[in-house]
A and B are shown apart, each in its own frame.
Chain A
Amino acid sequence: MNHNSKTALITGGTRGIGRAIALALAGQVENIALLYAGRRDAAEDTVNALLGKGVKSLAFACDVADSAQAKAACDQAREAFGPISILVNSAGITRDGLTLRMPPEDFKRVIEVNLAGAFHTIQACYRDLMKAGWGRVVNIGSVSGLMGNPGQMNYSAAKAGLVGLTKTLARELAGRGVTANLVAPGFIDTDMTRELPDGTLARALAQVPMGRMGKAEEVAAAVNYLCSPGADYVTGCVLQVDGGMYM
């Protein structure tokens, strides 16, 4: 299959891990649509970086927690580039706080963006994937979703939920040539981890056998592999990129 005619859609694709994923996928797709919620300047910067790599790229503002917005953004991407064959759900937020002090709205918002957001984009791209008979869905989870993390009840629950969502999708579409996998980063050096509460990062690094934070590019390399033809027989898997943090 010629990967040069493929379109990838990446949520949260303009900063941090999402941006690194976009740049990595530029080597195997022709078109990349980025969905972003916040910073337009960062989105434009990533689009320009992709254009510089010879990939057609557009960024669409979208709150993936809103199913109508997610559908509209996927529709716009499809109109611009054709059917979506690779979907990477990387959009994520944190609203950390110890359980006793966590406002219920902070719990719900993180679930809505990090978990329901993935559902919304998958639903919006599902027909494209089924019709093509080939496709890739990679959801970005977290080691927090596998082992829990104090102060992240909302985030851990959402990321754990993505594991079940991913495996369900993998089973639904396995017979249609579509794979669904989850990449679970550990502590990666991004804007998001820089916002972690005092002490959390130091305690976390003490649990990492490799003794360092990961790089966004190292997560992107895992996603790039799962989207490649070489991963045709890999589906429903959780691929940890965590320096051995959880095993």
Chain B
Amino acid sequence: MDDIMNKVALALASRTSSDPDGIIAETRFSELALDSLDVAELVMDLEDAFSVTIDISQIDGTVGDLVRVIREAAE
């Protein structure tokens, strides 16, 4: 698991009180009972953590999408 995926999984686990090891790229936010506003809030936290600006409209619904968008923003 790479560093970005690891941090995202930890942030998600903290927010949803779930096991970070159970969060994979294919995990959908809806499976974690996160609605679109929850995801927006998570994204804002991650923007601060990674010092990037994230385009929320690029995130389709999976953890992998979010990791990809953060990685692209960080490049």
Residues in A lying within 8 Å of B, measured CB to CB: 127, 130-131, 172-173, 175-176
Interchain CA distance A173-B44 in the complex, whole Å: 15
11 example contacts (A-B, Cβ-Cβ < 8 A) are as follows A127-B44, A130-B37, A130-B40, A130-B41, A130-B44, A131-B44, A172-B37, A173-B37, A175-B37, A176-B37, A176-B41
Q: B residues within 8 A CB of A131?
A: 44
Consensus secondary structure, chain A interface? helix
A9 to chain B, nearest CB (A): 19
Q: Which size class do B's interface residues fall under? A: under 10
Interchain CA distance A79-B49 in the complex, whole Å: 20
A66 to chain B, nearest CB (A): 20
Interchain CA distance A172-B41 in the complex, whole Å: 12
Query: CB-nearest residue of chain B relative to A128?
Result: B44
Binary per-residue interface labels of chain B (35-74) against chain A in the complex, 1 for a CB within 8 Å, 0 otherwise: 0010011001000000000000000000000000000000
Interchain CA distance A130-B45 in the complex, whole Å: 11
Q: B residues within 8 A CB of A175?
A: 37
B51 to chain A, nearest CB (A): 15
